[in-house]
A and B are shown apart, each in its own frame.
Chain A
Amino acid sequence: KAGVTQTPRYLIKTRGQQVTLSCSPISGHRSVSWYQQTPGQGLQFLFEYFSETQRNKGNFPGRFSGRQFSNSRSEMNVSTLELGDSALYLCASSLGPADTQYFGPGTRLTVL
């Protein structure tokens, strides 16, 4: 069974731009969570989607948004990029909200 895939793997943007990251969960998984990882900050929870509905949201500004499609694939969008948004963005999928999360390789976003 294929794992969680994230595209693109690397991205370079400039301040003020917006970016869209994509996540394809493991087949059969209906829950997708997004995390931001920066050096020394661990895994910061962004949001979780299940059956196309946002179930939980972390403490991030409204510039960070996401959605989930009927095939469980998910996208997250960051608008008006800031230098501090440079991070590894990880997607994790699970069968349901209470199940084990499996992570993708992440998208490395660099904001110049």
Chain B
Amino acid sequence: QQQVKQSPQSLIVQKGGISIINCAYENTAFDYFPWYQQFPGKGPALLIAIRPDVSEKKEGRFTISFNKSAKQFSLHIMDSQPGDSATYFCAASGRDTGGFKTIFGAGTRLFVKA
């Protein structure tokens, strides 16, 4: 079964530091890579997404870096704040056997220390 491998499982960062979460996918047909942020008791919310025609996308303090040849992408949170403490999920979607699919990584619990 196709997987999206996400690391690290948990991350502790000092306030003002850079948080980096990495994901790797297998299916080269996947062409859409979103990141979701989930706070306790809430559903995941779309944070930022990228398509493989660009290598980087930035929205405020959040940046996705994409390496198509390595089939890897990562989320960078600059100037991390305590309010960024949440669980982050990467995902990969596109056409797979049986139709379109979205596969999620296992999640990364981020804690930003004040």
A interface residues (Cβ-Cβ under 8 A, vs B): 4, 33, 35, 41-43, 45, 55-56, 90, 92, 97-98, 100-106
Q: A56–B44 contact, CB under 8 A?
A: no
CB-contact partner of B102 in A4, A33, A105, A106, under 8 A? A33
Q: A43–B42 contact, CB under 8 A?
A: no
Is B60 located at the chain interface by the 8 A CB criterion? no
* Smallest beta-carbon distance A26→chain B, Å: 12
Q: B43–A104 contact, CB under 8 A?
A: yes
* Smallest beta-carbon distance B51→chain A, Å: 11
In the complex, what distance in Å separates the CA atom of A104 from the CA atom of B45?
Answer: 9
* Smallest beta-carbon distance B101→chain A, Å: 6
- Give the dominant DSSP class at A's interface: strand
- Give the dominant DSSP class at B's interface: strand
CB-contact partner of A56 in B101, B104, B106, B107, under 8 A? B101
In the complex, what distance in Å separates the CA atom of A33 from the CA atom of B100?
Answer: 12
Q: B43–A43 contact, CB under 8 A?
A: no
Q: A103–B36 contact, CB under 8 A?
A: yes
Q: Give the residues in chain A near B106, CB-CB below 8 Å.
A: 41-42
B1 to chain A: closest residue by CB = A59
The residue in A45, A101, A106 that gathers the most chain B C-beta atoms within 10 A of its C-beta is: A101
Q: Could you jot down 13 A-B contacts, CB within 8 Å?
A: A42-B107, A43-B44, A43-B89, A45-B103, A45-B104, A56-B99, A90-B44, A92-B43, A100-B32, A100-B34, A101-B46, A103-B43, A106-B42
Given contacts A42-B107, A55-B99, whether A100 and B46 have CB atoms under 8 Å apart is yes
